[in-house]
Amino acid sequence: MDKDTINQRFNLKDGEGAIGEIFGGAMLGMLGLGFIYTNTDSVTIGLGITLNDLVENNYRPFEVLEQLKQHPKIAPLIEGAELKEYSAHLIPEGGYKKIPKLCDNGVMIVGDAGMLVNNLHWEGTNLAMISGKIAAETAVKALNKNDFSKRTLCDYEKCLKKSFVLKDMYTYRNLMDIFHQRQKAFLSYYLQKINGFFDMFTSVDCVPKKEGYWKFIKSLFTDRKITELLKDICALIRLLWSILI
């Protein structure tokens, strides 16, 4: 796409860029997020979805991407654009509990290979860079000592534990389990409720506002079994507890 068209469609001045994060219905109820961002004369659009969801829902990645590109909010932004390149890549989002052994005799594992991805914050590049830096510093020490056994190389893991890399991974240790357990609620039900709330809030329908609020509150308890609501509250508390404590 040419620069002027991008600037006009994304409401940008020269030198500015835009990024949009996409979640909810456009991911077809699967656990994942989409993104769109501008470059000087191109637009990047993509999404990340868990492999289990793709398999369970029988989608191939490009099929979801094609549907995202046809979404009424996205299609006008890329209308007439020419495809320059595309790719698919696994993002190892297993989280803290799935991190493999990161060092051994003659080996240090960094970045994606070590499952060092903080999916909630969309961070992987920085964790790869910092783990690579720490591994390189450890390698220099090993070279100076001429000792490439795990006794020296495992300094890498000790330093990584002190850095934000493993601290952040630990902070979100329960995230994936909880998201998988409550994904339908958080990615479908509550998003519909938020839409429903704002639909009510902005409707001019001659219904007293108080009635609208109470109808909405009541629906939270009657739409589903009350146990579902309790499970969501417990999941949220468990998640916040493990993040903050």
Ligand X SMILES: Cc1cc2nc3c(=O)[nH]c(=O)nc-3n(C[C@H](O)[C@H](O)[C@H](O)COP(=O)(O)OP(=O)(O)OC[C@H]3O[C@@H](n4cnc5c(N)ncnc54)[C@H](O)[C@@H]3O)c2cc1C
Options 6-14, 108-116, 148-156, 195-203: segment touching ligand X (CB under 6 A): 108-116
Report, in Å, the least distance between residue 133 CB and ligand X: 12
126 touching ligand X, by CB under 6 A:
yes
Contact 99, 169 (CB under 8 A): yes
Rg, C-alpha atoms of the chain: 23
Residues in CB range of 27: below 8 A, 6 or more apart: 33, 34, 47, 49, 64, 187
DSSP classification of residue 205: -
Residues in CB range of 174: below 8 A, 6 or more apart: 238, 239, 242
* Mask for 66-105, x = binds ligand X (CB under 6 A): -----------------------x-x--------------
Report, in Å, the least distance between residue 217 CB and ligand X: 37
Contact 170, 162 (CB under 8 A): no
Contact 50, 31 (CB under 8 A): yes
Beta bridge partners of 20: 36
Residue closer to ligand X (CB basis): 43 or 235:
43
Options 110-118, 154-162, 192-200, 231-239: segment touching ligand X (CB under 6 A): 110-118
Structure tokens at 124: 């992987």
Binding to ligand X in span 36-65, by CB under 6 A: 46, 48
Considering only 120, 123, 183, 231, the residue that binds ligand X (CB under 6 A) is 123
Considering only 111, 142, 155, 166, the residue that binds ligand X (CB under 6 A) is 111
Options 122-130, 147-155, 187-195, 203-211: segment touching ligand X (CB under 6 A): 122-130
- Interface size with ligand X, residues (CB under 6 A): 14
Beta bridge partners of 43: 38
Distance CA 211, CA 214 (A): 5
Note the residues at the interface with ligand X (CB under 6 A): 46, 48, 89, 91, 111-113, 117, 122-126, 128
